[in-house]
Amino acid sequence: MLRYTRVDRLLLGLLILSVLVSACASTSSPPQVSRIESQFSEVQVGESVNFSVEASGTELGFEWSAARGTIESQDAIARYTAPDTPGEDTVQVRVTGKGGTVVKTLTFNVIAPPPPPSPLPSDTPASTPTDTSTPTPIDTPSPAPTRTPSPTPTRPLPTEPPSPTPTNAPVTPTRAPSPTRTPTPVTCQGDTTADLTAQLFPAYEAKNYPKALACSFELERRWSVEATQQQGEKQASDCRYTPDPNDRAAFDSFWQKYWALNDVATGLFMRAEIFRIQGKCQEAKAIYTRVMNEYPCAFAWDRSNGGFFWNVADGARNGLSKPCP
């Protein structure tokens, strides 16, 4: 039978305590993030407003992006400038902390400014003000004693308001205010990543960039956690693995295992491509870099030329080398 001295029991307790402390220190909870807030529910075209987000955690980093407008980020506060055309826009902030990443989005309307008031016609006669002052009495001189002059008629002062405007005078038209048109929200809906990517690519080909961006943001919002988990699994096994397209079983197994990783990374890559086309060079560069750093093991399937796989991170590196207008 083993006998433990008092010193042995003390050392054993210290060892257990150090293991527990190390386990606690290695586990960090993700940052706590509230919703994105702005001082306005609607933004006029070309207008600049501030967006903010409240977050708590350690080693926090903030990355802002917008589907159509432009963003100047200042950590938890970002300066947003609306685009030149009305419609729906989406602002997203990605908060990264020591324990993970949280993504928050806010969708709102960009509206046209109200029409200026209609000017009055130049031939509209000005209204004559009514004289309400008390008339000044007139002193009438006494007649001379040797001659009685004929009385001179005295023009009476006006005591009545001026005659009304003739009925044939031009009337100032009153323009009814133009009704405010509510733009139709741009959405991308579906139950799977395949449903959203099936909408993303046709929208991109048709240059319907608001629709394509909506699909990209929705992919990341709903499945970024799964994508990060699958990236770690593939990184630990074989990052560059792709199946033989002729082996149907292996092909289907590949997509069933890495569906979120492949589709979320592809959606981010397409967002960066759209930003580059729109001249949002800094936003495009940030997204390209994220794809390379966060999802280097993701692959996309191109149906052209019989079909082939291409690495999404390699596509992002190629996108960084392209000119940005």
Is this model's pTM higher than 0.85 or not? no
> Looking at residue 153, what is its pLDDT?
45
| pLDDT tens digits, 250-260 | 999 999 999 99
Query: Does 267 have pLDDT greater than 80?
Result: yes
Which range among 53-57, 194-198, 251-255 shows the weakest confidence by mean pLDDT?
53-57
Q: From 113, 137, 153, give the residue that closes a domain.
A: 113
Cα distance between residue 30 and residue 295, in whole Å: 19
CB 151 within 8 A of CB 177: no
* 200/79 same-domain check: no
What's the chain's average pLDDT? 79
Partners of 312 in the β-ladder: none
Better-scored residue on pLDDT, 160 or 37: 37
* 106/233 same-domain check: no
DSSP per residue, 39-74: S-SEEETT-EEEEE--EESSS-EEEEEESSSEEEEE
**Total structural domains in the chain?**
2
Over residues 272-291, mean pLDDT: 94
* 90/199 same-domain check: no
Q: Which two tokens stand for residue 301?
A: 């399937």
Quick check: is 152 in a domain?
no
CATH number at residue 109: 2.60.40.1080
Quick check: is 121 in a domain?
no
> Looking at residue 113, what is its pLDDT?
81
Which range among 87-101, 103-117, 304-318 shows the weakest confidence by mean pLDDT?
103-117
- pLDDT classification of 309: cutoffs 50, 70, 90: very high
Quick check: is 216 in a domain?
yes
What is the 3-state composition of the chain as percent helix, strand, coil, each rounded to the nearest 5? Answer: 35, 20, 45
Residues 144-157 as b/e (b if ≥16 CB within 10 A, e otherwise) read eeeeeeeeeeeeee
* 289/198 same-domain check: yes
Quick check: is 180 in a domain?
no
* 222/96 same-domain check: no
Better-scored residue on pLDDT, 239 or 118: 239
* 109/194 same-domain check: no
Quick check: is 234 in a domain?
yes
Q: From 92, 113, 134, give the residue that closes a domain.
A: 113
Over residues 6-30, mean pLDDT: 60
* 217/316 same-domain check: yes
Quick check: is 196 in a domain?
yes
> Looking at residue 261, what is its pLDDT?
97
* 293/193 same-domain check: yes
* 74/196 same-domain check: no
Q: What's the domain range around 291? A: 186-325
With CA atoms as reference, report the closest residue to 324 among 271, 270, 283: 283
